[in-house]
Amino acid sequence: MVAEAKKTRIVILGGGFAGLHAAIHLDDTLARDPDVEITLVNRDNFFLFTPMLHEVAASDLDLTNIVNPVRKLLKRINFFAGEVESIDLERNRVSVSHGFDHHHHELPYDHLVIGLGSITNFFNLPGLEERALTMKSLGDAIHLRNRLIAHLEEADTECCAAVRRPLLTFVVAGGGFAGVETIAGINDFVREAVPFYSNLREDMLRVVLVHPGNVILPELGEKLGRYTEKKLTERKVEIRVNTRVTGVTDNSVQLSTGETIESKALIWTAGTSPNPVLDSLPCAKERGRLKVDEMLQVSGWPGVWALGDCALVPDRKTGQYHPPTAQHALREGKTLATNLIASVRGGILKPFSFSTIGQLAAIGRRTGVANIFGINFSGFAAWWLWRTIYLSKLPRFEKKLRVALDWTLNLLFTKDLVQFQTFRAPTISHKNGMEPQVPLPDISLPDIDAGQVASLETLP
Amino acid sequence: MVAEAKKTRIVILGGGFAGLHAAIHLDDTLARDPDVEITLVNRDNFFLFTPMLHEVAASDLDLTNIVNPVRKLLKRINFFAGEVESIDLERNRVSVSHGFDHHHHELPYDHLVIGLGSITNFFNLPGLEERALTMKSLGDAIHLRNRLIAHLEEADTECCAAVRRPLLTFVVAGGGFAGVETIAGINDFVREAVPFYSNLREDMLRVVLVHPGNVILPELGEKLGRYTEKKLTERKVEIRVNTRVTGVTDNSVQLSTGETIESKALIWTAGTSPNPVLDSLPCAKERGRLKVDEMLQVSGWPGVWALGDCALVPDRKTGQYHPPTAQHALREGKTLATNLIASVRGGILKPFSFSTIGQLAAIGRRTGVANIFGINFSGFAAWWLWRTIYLSKLPRFEKKLRVALDWTLNLLFTKDLVQFQTFRAPTISHKNGMEPQVPLPDISLPDIDAGQVASLETLP
């Protein structure tokens, strides 16, 4: 017990690009030290590869293939599947909840790494919190996919056009990467699915992108933004620039231009906020993000580190802050691991330094847009880059292989239309019907037919 | 409108083995007639291949691969995704509900085909309705898989053995096909997963099968039943024969022997009842199942047909009834289609006649048991038969290929541990944090990082 008490305890909060990559770099280094104990806390027991999330929503990739179990990515670091409830910087403790009863645990730490990311913010716009769909988690993507199919199923059976129109109109708010990739995926999916619905025609579909700026994909520059607008418009996506969503009701989406779009599906990708757990922390923040120095240390709190979307990391070269992107987050993870090792073992901390290499977006139907080292790519070449680069970044060979196979099979088959209703089969509880657990005299005990041979005509 | 009114309307209720196969045989025949309109009603928009359901729960197969969208299986028959609420035989109408608001539609018919299957029955046993898991739907299998992983995750963080034991004990009630295949899958899965949980050891796991009869898998005969018991026992499954589950609480399962097993997971496969929609029908029934003649016509109600698990089909050869298995259901579907065509176009109805060819069960770790034409198979040969036969029966080449690929990749990789939490990402709605829809001056607009390049180190 004496030896136990002497251990240096490191707790990492959040298993996104930032937290996970910090953990991966520590797993093979500091975590080998017998007197160091490292714990990673994350809500899900998997790492979600968010750049491919829109491919799940659009039925291009199987949902299992863009997630990796954290326990298979880390060997020596403890994993704790739970929700971070609060952080007590004064007492060096984190309160986490988990399990069926959401009971609490306290995790004491000597070093704390905060990588809690950001969450979707609806900015008090009326109706959004209750009705808008989002695109942040695997559940979000499954939910969106199910909604698209549910709308097609319902519209197929409605004979009245007034009921059908809002079901067949899909609105995405926000023309950044998430919004553009999502609308491109939705557009491809519904147009490919509609021939299977005998009462629906493609001209009944409306897919609308609402963007507050002058041109979509502003991070990629006006030229690629205009190219994307042209491509999407050719594929019948309606684009409203200089327009905001101002509210949503059960059957319509209101725009800042005064226009009302009849729609039952608004997907909101137009705003985020840092994790609200950070709100109560007594350290320096700006717009909710934690201020850190170039070493990724939270100012004034020795042993507390922050990185990723929830941290404001100064960029010496520009005098501003590093943008909250995956490519920055995973490199911050590596720098943080290096600095943490130096802190524990003794050594010199190094400042985080990195410049954006490039940015890419997949915009549907084997086209993409990319700006890499200042050079613009568009069309098939950019889409090919997108696939190659992200596939190489997806952790674990198994998942790379499965995604590559999925993409290959997509060349042969149309998109799947299965609605993943997660509801369980109906049950009943009464004394009538079959006797419990006893085969009947005249008919054999019904079961789910698992294992009962369907036919043996194919026997060799 | 006059022409419309003259159409012969056929409504098929249920898209399981029975209803779907009736529809498939009608799709290419009667559905071609311009004066015939056929509609298939099913809750899910997919056909679930139930014989492979336990492979999803055990993480052997990807959940997308054992389901086929009904709309891709049928070309000419209308599909209606909805719940059957009631059947009015007097007025020739079916009431179905669907959509987000569960509104009702009335479907009039000239011919009605009832293939509504059976549902799990808990027989008023205390605690089961609230706590027991079942294995009938895709949602059930996903739910079971998530529960297994959730238990491992929670147990890994508990320091107290008293809390850990019920989390790591899994009880299956019912030693028929469903129960045996489920427990074999659970046993393989948890034992393969446990090395990834640093605080757990394999000897902490308990997997218990409770069966009311003298030997498990009674349909396959005592010899194969004993073989299966021996194999499962070797793999540390505890088997309680001549025992029933009598109740369940939050932390324990009570058995008829007086024994109480500390467990938080009971999977109930030990009883079914016909669909309760049939209860109110004024036609002849026995134990809730509809009595039909050999032509599959419901006695006394011309134009009403029934088949599959919800029908009691007389077997002329034995003087008893056909068992409710998948192999019977799909052949009843074919006979029903033939007889329906004869009824509509004129012709002679033919009686249903079929004898069970054989039965198979997969019992884990590449072993199986089978009785085919009275010959017993066991071990690897029976498992190979199981895979070959069921793969050949899985509809659509695409899914066959995907399952075959999954099985091939399973040779290379360990089982996946991802918990498919379908909860959506947390959101917030307030004015603080990032401005809505407007890039900030110093940091670019945060989004889900979709499309933002992770790294370009791999560029050619």
pLDDT in tens, A429-451: 776 544 443 333 332 323 323 23
- For chain B, give the mean pLDDT: 89
Q: DSSP alpha helices (H): ranges in A30-116?
A: 53-57, 70-73
Whether the per-residue pLDDT at A416 is higher than 90: the answer is no
Q: Do B437 and A213 touch (CB under 8 A)?
A: yes
**How would CATH label the architecture of A2-43+82-120+273-356?**
3-Layer(bba) Sandwich (3.50)
pLDDT for the residue A445: 27
**CATH 3.50.50.100 location in chain A:** 128-270+359-410
Specify burial of residue B79 (Cβ count, 10 A radius: 0-12, 13-18, 19+). Answer: buried
How many angstroms from the chain centroid is the CA of residue A75?
A: 24
Nearest to A273 among B45, B434, B453 (CB): B434
Taking residues A28-46, what's their average pLDDT?
96
Nearest to B451 among A177, A409, A422 (CB): A177
Phi, psi of B66 (to 5 degrees): -105, 10
Tell me how far apart the alpha carbons of residues A436 and B244 are, in angstroms, rounded to a whole number.
Answer: 9
pLDDT bin (cut points 50, 70, 90) of residue A202 is very high
Nearest to B398 among A63, A388, A413 (CB): A413
Contact between A150 and A303 under an 8 Å Cβ cutoff? The reply is: no
Chain B residues inside the 8 Å CB shell of A274: 433
Q: Which residue of B has its CA nearest to A423?
A: B139
Q: Do B213 and A431 touch (CB under 8 A)?
A: no
Closest CA to B153 of B441, B401, B418, B427: B418
Q: Do B430 and A123 touch (CB under 8 A)?
A: yes
User: How long a stretch of residues is chain A?
Assistant: 460
Q: Which residue of B has its CA nearest to A361?
A: B451
Chain A residues inside the 8 Å CB shell of B392: 455, 458
Q: Do A444 and B385 touch (CB under 8 A)?
A: no
Count of CB pairs separated by less than 8 Å, A with B: 486
Q: Do A271 and B327 touch (CB under 8 A)?
A: no
For an interface test with A, give the residue of B94, B410, B448, B459 to mutate (most A CBs within 10 A): B448
Taking residues A409-417, what's their average pLDDT?
84
Q: Do A360 and B45 touch (CB under 8 A)?
A: no
Contact between A356 and A173 under an 8 Å Cβ cutoff? The reply is: no
| Tokens 């032509």 sit on residue | B295
Angstroms from A385 CA to nearest CA on chain B: 8
Q: Which residue of A has its CA nearest to B176?
A: A447
Q: Which amino acid is at A374?
A: G
pLDDT for the residue B439: 34
Q: Which residue of B has its CA nearest to A142?
A: B422
| Torsion sign across C-alpha atoms A176, A177, A183, A187 | positive
Whether the per-residue pLDDT at A347 is higher than 90: the answer is yes
pLDDT for the residue B385: 93
pLDDT digits 0-9 by tens, B265-285: 999 999 899 999 999 999 999
> Which tokens go with A369?
């847009």
Chain B residues inside the 8 Å CB shell of A405: 405
Nearest to A196 among B43, B72, B451 (CB): B72
Q: Which amino acid is at B358?
A: G
pLDDT for the residue A9: 97
pLDDT bin (cut points 50, 70, 90) of residue B290 is very high
Nearest to A357 among B424, B448, B455 (CB): B455
Chain B residues inside the 8 Å CB shell of A174: 437, 447
Q: Which residue of A has its CA nearest to B219?
A: A444
Tell me how far apart the alpha carbons of residues B13 and B283 are, in angstroms, rounded to a whole number.
Answer: 17
Chain A residues inside the 8 Å CB shell of B357: 453, 455-456
User: How long a stretch of residues is chain B?
Assistant: 460
CA dihedral A353, A355, A357, A362 (to 10 degrees): 110
Residues contacting A312, CB < 8 A, separation 6+: A285, A286, A289, A290, A291, A292, A321, B443
Angstroms from A349 CA to nearest CA on chain B: 24
| Least confident piece of the model among A196-200, A456-460, B7-11, B148-152 | A456-460
Q: Do B71 and A429 touch (CB under 8 A)?
A: no
Q: Which residue of A has its CA nearest to B67?
A: A418
Angstroms from B102 CA to nearest CA on chain A: 10
Tell me how far apart the alpha carbons of residues A396 and A398 are, in angstroms, rounded to a whole number.
Answer: 5
Tell me how far apart the alpha carbons of residues A279 and A275 are, in angstroms, rounded to a whole number.
Answer: 8
Q: Do B177 and A451 touch (CB under 8 A)?
A: yes
For an interface test with A, give the residue of B409, B427, B457, B459 to mutate (most A CBs within 10 A): B427
pLDDT for the residue A424: 65
Taking residues A343-365, what's their average pLDDT?
94
User: Would you list the DSSP string of B351-372?
Assistant: -------EEEEE-STT-EEEEE
Taking residues B100-126, what's their average pLDDT?
94
Q: Which amino acid is at B327?
A: Q
Q: Do B454 and A51 touch (CB under 8 A)?
A: yes
CATH topology of domain B128-269: FAD/NAD(P)-binding domain (3.50.50)
pLDDT for the residue A110: 98
| Least confident piece of the model among A285-289, A416-420, B194-198, B268-272 | A416-420
- For chain A, give the mean pLDDT: 89
Chain A residues inside the 8 Å CB shell of B401: 409
Specify burial of residue A109 (Cβ count, 10 A radius: 0-12, 13-18, 19+). Answer: buried
**CATH 3.50.50.60 location in chain A:** 2-43+82-120+273-356
Chain A residues inside the 8 Å CB shell of B287: 432-434, 440
Chain B residues inside the 8 Å CB shell of A452: 51, 177, 219, 325-327, 359-360
Whether the per-residue pLDDT at A317 is higher than 70: the answer is yes
Q: Which amino acid is at A57?
A: A
Distance spanning both ends of chain B, measured CA to CA: 64
| Distances from the Cα of B20 to the Cα of A213, B54, B295, B394, angstroms | 50, 21, 18, 13
Nearest to A427 among B71, B119, B173 (CB): B119
How many angstroms from the chain centroid is the CA of residue B22?
A: 19
Nearest to A327 among B143, B276, B452 (CB): B452
Q: Which residue of B has its CA nearest to A47?
A: B418
**How would CATH label the architecture of A128-270+359-410?**
3-Layer(bba) Sandwich (3.50)
Nearest to A425 among B137, B422, B424 (CB): B137
Chain A residues inside the 8 Å CB shell of B100: 150, 154, 264
Angstroms from A271 CA to nearest CA on chain B: 5
CA dihedral B46, B49, B50, B52 (to 10 degrees): -130
Nearest to B119 among A385, A425, A435 (CB): A425
> Which tokens go with A354?
């990195």
Instruction: Give B369-372's long-range contacts (Cβ < 8 A, gap of 24+).
Output: B369/B217, B369/B220, B369/B224, B369/B227, B369/B228, B370/A453, B370/B220, B370/B224, B371/B220, B371/B221, B371/B224, B372/A453, B372/A456, B372/A459
ipTM of the shown complex: 0.86
3-state DSSP call for residue B219?
helix
More confident residue, B422 or A72: A72
pLDDT digits 0-9 by tens, A45-102: 999 999 999 998 888 888 888 999 999 999 999 999 999 999 999 999 999 998 888 8
Closest CA to B137 of A448, A419, A145: A448
Whether the per-residue pLDDT at A258 is higher than 60: the answer is yes
Task: Say which DSSP state B424 is in.
Answer: P
pLDDT for the residue B438: 36
Chain B residues inside the 8 Å CB shell of A453: 326-327, 357-360, 370, 372, 389
Q: Do B272 and A213 touch (CB under 8 A)?
A: no
pLDDT for the residue B435: 41
pLDDT for the residue A432: 54
CA dihedral B318, B319, B325, B330 (to 10 degrees): 100
Closest CA to B447 of A150, A45, A361: A361
User: Would you list the DSSP string of B309-329?
Assistant: GGEE-EETTTTEE----HHHH
pLDDT digits 0-9 by tens, B71-96: 999 999 999 999 999 999 999 999 99
Angstroms from A360 CA to nearest CA on chain B: 5
| Distances from the Cα of A35 to the Cα of A2, A59, A107, A334, B22, angstroms | 11, 47, 17, 21, 67
Which of A355-364, A442-451, B402-411 holds the top average pLDDT?
A: A355-364
pLDDT for the residue B175: 97
Nearest to B154 among A98, A213, A442 (CB): A98
Angstroms from A279 CA to nearest CA on chain B: 10
More confident residue, B289 or A439: B289
Q: Do A320 and B442 touch (CB under 8 A)?
A: yes
Nearest to A271 among B179, B437, B459 (CB): B437
Task: Say which DSSP state B444 is in.
Answer: P
For B222-269, the three-class secondary structure string (H helix, E strand, C coil) is: HHHHHHHHHHHHHCCEEEECCCCEEEECCCEEEECCCCEEECCEEEEC
Which of A150-164, B120-134, B429-443 holds the top average pLDDT?
A: B120-134
Chain A residues inside the 8 Å CB shell of B68: 418
Q: Which residue of B has its CA nearest to A363?
A: B451
- Work out the angle at residue A19's Cα, subtended by the Cα atoms of residues A14 and A21, and round it to the nearest 5 degrees: 150
| Least confident piece of the model among A203-217, B10-24, B433-447 | B433-447
User: Would you list the DSSP string of B11-43?
Assistant: EEE--SHHHHHHHHHHHTTGGGSTTEEEEEEES
pLDDT for the residue B423: 60
Tell me how far apart the alpha carbons of residues A149 and B196 are, in angstroms, rounded to a whole number.
Answer: 36
Tell me how far apart the alpha carbons of residues B248 and A444 are, in angstroms, rounded to a whole number.
Answer: 26
| Least confident piece of the model among A151-160, A276-285, A445-454 | A445-454
Chain B residues inside the 8 Å CB shell of A387: none
